[in-house]
Amino acid sequence: MELSVVIPVYNEEDNIIPMLDALNSSLQGIDHEVIFVDDGSTDDTVKLILEAAHHKPHIRTLVFNRNYGQTPAMAAGIDAAKGKYIATLDGDLQNDPSDIRMMLDKLESEDLDIVAGIRQKRQDGLILRKIPSKLANMLIRKLTGVNITDYGCTLKLFRSEIAKRLDLYGELHRFIPVLGEMEGAKIEEVAVKHHPRRFGQAKYGLGRTFKVVSDLMLMLFLLKYRQKPMHLFGTLGVFSMFIGGAIEAYLLLLKIFGSDIGGRPLFFVGILLIIAGVQLITTGFIAEIMTRTYFESQNKRPYGIRKRYHGDVEDAA
């Protein structure tokens, strides 16, 4: 199968039929499947999907037992996908399925791993959606060095082998380009259409900004220290012990020359820094052991091979 389209949905009953009509008209001639992942809907979303999917084996549906969030829904759809390429898009019809064919052509012609959409003339509220999104995009680009314009656009196209290695947990779907960069993926952007929401309501608001910041801290750690956590904890630990030791050495000299140091706050600061340094270094050792366990228990490798060649001929295996 050439293409799998993964669509997380949550209470989108009015959008199901228009979504399927748009997919059918946009993907004619492409061997594809459509995977709906219902994230614990409480309306008739699942009922309408199953009615539309009657005698249509290319439509598959995964139904969660409760609401887990967009990232687990996307991960479940990617895990179930059988296509050579995987497209993800929102279930609210703000993304346009007609862009998928253009993105597929770009990915194949330029030998890319991920094509990310940039929403043009974004049809969302200025205060609650556009401004927080622009600030978050700018912050993520600055701190991660992954220069993607629109991290919030769900419409993306992947090679299947890259998508299935992304390790989507928590609410990391908005950091997919960063996760792809960690896997060595070749990523390019392309302008895509964006429509106003016709039915239903957005499932998130301004509160997501705080989640983005916390997830960003995790991304920075994974991006720089996932395979070498001791470089972070060990460096901080040695620095903390050095500063604490220097403070205590200074106070020892004062003590030798007759000064009373027992009641000085600096004495306790030095001890605290030394203890913190020991704890940081110990944490580094534990993190290193966990990292090795993570890779070895799952037969993962700390590297990725994009292509193999025998002589000058590419090895299809």
- State residue 204's pLDDT score: 52
pLDDT tens string 189-223: 999 998 888 776 665 555 566 777 788 888 888 88
pLDDT of residue 160: 94
Among 283, 142, 291, 282, smallest CA distance to 226 is for 291
Selection from 170, 217, 204, 218 nearest residue 71 by Cα: 170
β pairing state of 187-192 and 114-119: parallel
Question: By the 8 A CB rule, do 159 and 95 touch?
Answer: no
HEC profile of the chain: CCEEEEEEECCCHHHHHHHHHHHHHHCCCCCEEEEEEECCCCCCHHHHHHHHCCCCCCEEEEECCCCCCHHHHHHHHHHHCCCCEEEECCCCCCECCCHHHHHHHHHHHCCCCEEEEEECCCCCCHHHHHHHHHHHHHHHHHHHCCCCCCCCCCCEEEEHHHHCCCCCCCCHHHHHHHHHHHCCCCEEEEEECECCCCCCCCCCCCCHHHHHHHHHHHHHHHHHHCCCHHHHHHHHHHHHHHHHHHHHHHHHHHHHCCCCCCCCHHHHHHHHHHHHHHHHHHHHHHHHHHHHHHHHHCCCCCCCCCCCEECCEECCC
Distance separating alpha carbons of residues 154 and 88, to the nearest angstrom: 6
Q: How far is CA 187 from CA 112, 146, 165, 179, 282, in A?
A: 6, 10, 15, 11, 37
Alpha carbon distance 8, 41 (integer Å): 11
Residue range 52-88, pLDDT digits in tens: 998 888 999 999 999 998 899 999 999 999 999 999 9
pLDDT at 155: 94
Strand 309-310 vs strand 313-314: parallel, antiparallel, or unpaired?
antiparallel
Find the Cα–Cα–Cα–Cα dihedral 137, 186, 156, 165, rounded to 10°. -100
The C-alpha atoms of residue 194 and residue 176 are separated, in whole angstroms, by 20
Positions in the chain short of pLDDT 50: none
Distance of CA 244 to CAs 7, 162, 248, 250, 277, Å? 54, 46, 6, 10, 8
**89-110: pLDDT as tens digits:** 998 889 999 999 999 999 999 9
Rounded Cα gap, residues 314 and 183, in angstroms: 21
AA identity, residue 121: K
What is the structure's pLDDT at 5? 97
pLDDT at 168: 86
CA distance 127 to 106: 33
Q: What is the pLDDT of residue 23?
A: 94
Contact 100, 5 (CB under 8 A): yes
